[in-house]
Every structure is written in structure tokens, then in C-alpha cells.
Amino acid sequence: MEKVLIGKGTEKVYLLANKANQHGMIAGATGTGKTVTLKVLAEQFSRMGVPCILSDVKGDLINISQPGVENENVKSRVETIDMEDFSVEGFPTQVWDVYGEKGMPLRVTISEMGPTFLGRIMELNDTQVAVLNAAFRVADENGLLLIDTKDLRSLLNELLENKEDYSKLYGSIAPQTVHAILRKLVYLEDLGGTNFFGETSIEMEDMIKTDSNGRGMVNILAASKLINNPVLYSMFLLYLLSELFETLPEVGNPEKPKLVFFFDEAHLLFESCPKSLQEKIEQLVRLIRSKGVGVYFITQNPLDIPSDIAGQLGNRIIHGLRAFTPKDQKAINGIAETFRANPNLDTKEAIVSLGTGEALVSVLDESGAPTMAERVLICPPRSTFDPLNESQWNGLVESSPLYGKYKEAVDPESAYEILERNIALRQREKELEEKEKLLEKENKKSRGRKNSQQDLLGKSMNSFLGTMSRAIGREIARNVLGSLKRR
């Protein structure tokens, strides 16, 4: 059976591959070794053929692509842990960035992201979200593709222009609510929405890959800029997770995971997170297990993770924590109590005395029960500690076979173009009507002109139908948060 060597306590300690989808956490104060631990896990998953997604907040993960050097620190760990097959190695790495600056552009369409995520990112209130939902229904039912922010703007303007008609169908649409959403749309564009909403949008299959040697792809989401907006950061990661949920088939409990998702700075996800969203995250994390996806939260304080979610994290690696204040001490007592007691170890004392690259570890054993807490020296990484320079970084991004596919934004016909044309059509219709009236006054027939008007409307209908099938596909694939809401 395949397993990931975490390090050595009294014995070697392994994360069992068939328990890796039961999630986990890596916690500890700054500088205690969280990032290296994350790499050690991701490297071994890659060697097993399991792709990973890592969010990279500090820009210190991308060097997983380059082999390390066996310095004294590494050598002594290899010896102490008694690692038989250690060798330095760089791993297949793809870098993504929603801003398209430090990685391949990671784009999403407005339609795909759906009203729930968008509402949260735009910080809409309930009334506004209700109107946004109505707008999405109008788009779905009329085959209007919402790709970028200008599509959404056109659609909202369409609602405004014809509010009486739409209110009859979708419930009251107050103009001031639409105006408020339009203002928040400007805010969204200022956040970078003009870049990350668009085509070609990310296909999760492009992340779930192995290289020619069968090693799992390490996907890095370069998030050093994204992190400046914590809501955007957490919603994007959550969106990716929900897309994985939609993409992957049910597999129950696989021998090894299909993909492992590492969520750095996880406390941001839960900070000021409304209870309703927290429940959805809890649900998503629970349900994604049977898709073979393991989710690992990385955070400074394990107590940042709400207990409903922490309770689902079977594999725990807790690095050193600081006990400066009585409050810290109380937290540490709480954390120590969550571990299965080990008669040979004072967990409370251990948590505050762990060295760098050392951790308290409890994983799920073969029967699915948590092992006793052990004090573990963590393996050294196979990849380098050295940061990449700019040209290495750019080289890595541009050498990806997917670079050509995602590099440039494409702007296919969508709501904006269709609605603009409809406005032009309506305008022309009006003009024609007026001319007709004039002509009638002069007591003449106007059949010829009417025909040309019908021609134009016919053309517009065709383009509606042309985009329809695609729009329906999108609607079915609408994110899990949307669909969870309906359950």
C-alpha cells in the first residue's frame, strides 16, 4: 500500500494514501516549518502520480520545481529519519495567477462562477443577491452567455430598461437595487475583475494531470497579490474546490487520492465568514472526500478552523505554537486535548518546545482511527529551499504546454454583443415604425420595409439559439455552492 513518509518519531510516521482524502491540517507559528511540510507532502503525492493544487501566498512554493542540494541540514535529517531512497528532485509544476502576472491566467466566466460566489465577492446584501439571481435566470432562459463584467453590466441595464416586463416574470426588480449592483460591479472591476472574468476559462482537467513519468502535476496558484483581498482569495479557492467537486466522479474511498488541495492562510476563509457560508464549506469539504480529493488547511493557529470543519480533518501536523499570553496557553491546552493522549508524551509541553521542522503528528491508521500524538522530525524536501529568480520563474510559466491555450483572453459573442445588437434593433424598429406612420399618413403601403425588419429580427433569433446550447451546459455545471443551496 502506498504511503507518504512524514518523518520519524519513535518509528517512521506515514500518511496512508488511502486515508489522504480524509483531509488534514498543517498548523504552527511563523518559521516553524509549515511550508516545508507542505512541500514534503506534495512532493510525495506527485511521486505517487497524484496531482496537487497549492495556493502560494508568499511566493515560496514555486521552487518545488527545482531539485535541492544535500546540505548538512538535509543530510542529517535523511540519516536520522533513515530515509533509504532519498534523492534531490524537482517536480512538474504549473503556475496559475488570476491576474495573469505571475502565472498562466486563471480565468472564470461570470456564468460559471454563479450568483452565490459573485454576491459574496461583490459583498452584496440579500436583496441584491436576489436580484442577481433573477439576472442569472434571465440570462439562462434567454441563452445569454455571461462571460465578462461587461456582459453582466449589459444584462443589468437590460433589466433596468425593461423592469416592468422582467418584474412580472421574476418578481419585483427595484431600480435602486440594480443601480447598487452596477456600482459594486465597478468595484469588482477595480479588484481585477476585467482580467479574471473571461475566456478561456480554466478547465479543471488541465490541473488533474500527470507528466510523462507518471508524476502528479503540482499546480501552484500564485496568490501573493490575490491575498490582499481575503474575500476574493478565499472565494476563488472555494470556487476551484467546487469545480473539482463538479468535475470529478464519485469514487468512494480510493487507494490513493485523485487530487490533493492545500489551502494556505486558511484562517482567511473563516474570518468574518457568515454562518450560512461556513455550513456550505463544511458540506463541500465533507462531500468532496468521496470524489477522492483531500483538502489540507494550513494555518498558524489550529483554532482558527471552526470545530465542525476541524472535526473532519483526520490527519494533523501541528508545528510549534507560541505561548506568550494566558490566552495562548489556554488555546494550547485546548489543542492538546484534541489529540489522542500518548502516555509517553506531554502534549502541552511538546507543542511549545518543538524545534523547526518538528511537529506533533496524528494521522488516521488503517482502521480509520487517529493515532496517538507523536513528536516527529519532519523529512527534508527533495526540492530546493532557494527562491527562483525572475527569469527562472517566467521560464517555468511560459514552458507549460498549456501556456498558449490560456495566455490571451478571447472575447466570444455573449450577452454584451447580443444585447447591444438588440438595442440597435429596437432603435431601428422604432425608426421603422415612425417612418411607417409617416408613410401611412401619406396613404402608402409599407410592406417592403416590414420585410427587412423581420429579416433583422430573424438574424438576432439565430444568434440567440446559437449560444443557447452552450449556456445550458454552463447552467448544469453551475457551481456546487449554488446547487448546495437548492438542496
**Which residues in this chain contact ligand ADP in the complex, by CB under 6 A?**
28, 30-36, 73, 77, 356-357, 378-380, 385
Least gap, CB of 331 to ligand ADP (angstroms): 17
Strand-pair partners of 433 = none
* Comparison of 36 and 350: residue with beta carbon closer to Mg ion: 36
Strands (DSSP E) contained in 185-292 are 218-222, 259-263
Buried b (16+ CB within 10 A) or exposed e, 303-315: bbbbeebbebbbb
Question: Residue 153 Cβ, how far from Mg ion at the closest point, in Å?
Answer: 39
The option from Mg ion, ligand ADP, none interacting with 266 (CB < 5 to 8 A, set by class) reads none
User: Which of ligand ADP, Mg ion, none has residue 320 at its interface (CB below 5 to 8 Å by kind)?
Assistant: none
Q: Between residues 36 and 284, which has the closer beta carbon with respect to ligand ADP?
A: 36
Which of 36/415 has CB closer to ligand ADP? 36
Q: What amino acid occupies position 482?
A: G
In the complex, what is the shortest distance from the CB of residue 30 to Mg ion, in angstroms, rounded to a whole number?
7
Q: Which three cell numbers stand for residue 168?
A: 412580472
Residue closest to Mg ion, measured at CB:
35
177 binds Mg ion (CB under 5 A): no
Rounded Cα distance between 9 and 229, Å, is 39
User: In sequence order, which ranges of 288-325 are alpha helices (DSSP H)?
Assistant: 307-310
For residues 167 and 181, give the distance between their C-alpha atoms in angstroms, rounded to a whole number.
Answer: 17
Distance CA 402, CA 273 (A): 35
**Pairing between β-strand 374-378 and β-strand 3-8 as defined by DSSP bridges:** antiparallel
Nearer to ligand ADP, 31 or 334 (CB): 31
Neighbours of 261 (CB within 10 A): 24
Closer of 146 and 379 to ligand ADP (Cβ): 379
CB of 184 to ligand ADP, least distance (A): 35
Q: Nearest to residue 231, comparing CAs of 184, 199, 164?
A: 184
Name which of 24 and 357 has its Cβ closer to ligand ADP.
Answer: 357
Q: Of these partners, Mg ion, ligand ADP, none, which one is at the site of residue 119 (CB under 5 to 8 Å by kind)? A: none
Residue whose CB is less far from ligand ADP, 151 or 265: 265
Residue whose C-alpha is closest to residue 51's, from 203, 204, 217: 217
Minimum distance of ligand ADP from residue 317's CB (angstroms): 11
Q: Which of ligand ADP, Mg ion, none does residue 36 bind to, with CB < 5 to 8 Å depending on kind?
A: ligand ADP
Cα gap 357→374, rounded to integer Å: 14
Residue 138 binds what, of Mg ion, ligand ADP, none (CB under 5 to 8 Å, by partner type)? none
* Alpha carbon separation from 130 to 3, 19, 160, 187 (Å, rounded): 47, 40, 15, 19
Q: Residue with CB nearest ligand ADP?
A: 357
Alpha-carbon distance 485 to 126, whole Å? 14
Place of cell 478571447: 410
CB 97 within 8 A of CB 233: no
93 binds, among Mg ion, ligand ADP, none (CB under 5 to 8 A by kind): none
- Which of ligand ADP, Mg ion, none interacts with 73 (beta carbon under 5 to 8 A by kind)? ligand ADP
The greatest distance separating any two alpha carbons of the chain, rounded to the nearest whole angstrom, comes to 105
Q: Residue 36 and residue 380: Cα distance in Å, rounded?
A: 8
Name the residue nearer to ligand ADP (CB basis): 3 or 77: 77
Specify the residue, 201 or 362, whose C-beta has the smaller distance to ligand ADP: 362
Tell me, what DSSP letter sits at residue 192?
Answer: I
Task: Looking at residues 10 to 49 of the shown chain, list those that interact with Mg ion (rule: CB under 5 A).
Answer: 34-35
- Across-strand partners of 298? 26
Burial of residue 125 (CB within 10 Å: 0-12, 13-18, 19+) is: exposed
Least gap, CB of 131 to ligand ADP (angstroms): 43
Nearer to ligand ADP, 124 or 378 (CB): 378
- The rounded distance, in Å, linking the Cα atoms of 341 and 417 is 64
Residue 33 binds: one of Mg ion, ligand ADP, none (C-beta under 5 to 8 A by kind): ligand ADP
Q: How far is the CB of 39 from ligand ADP (least distance, A)?
A: 8
Residue 13 contacts which entry, ligand ADP, Mg ion, none (Cβ below 5-8 A, type-dependent) = none
Distance, C-alpha 351 to centroid of its chain: 31
Smallest distance from the beta carbon of 56 to Mg ion, in angstroms? 10
Size of the site for Mg ion (CB under 5 A): 2
How many Cβ atoms are within 10 Å of 487's Cβ, its own excluded? 6
If the CB atoms of residues 24 and 28 are measured against ligand ADP, the closer one turns out to be 28
> Min. distance of Cβ 68 from ligand ADP in angstroms?
9
Q: Which does 357 bind (CB under 5 to 8 A by kind): Mg ion, ligand ADP, none?
A: ligand ADP
Q: Which residues bind Mg ion (CB under 5 A)?
A: 34-35
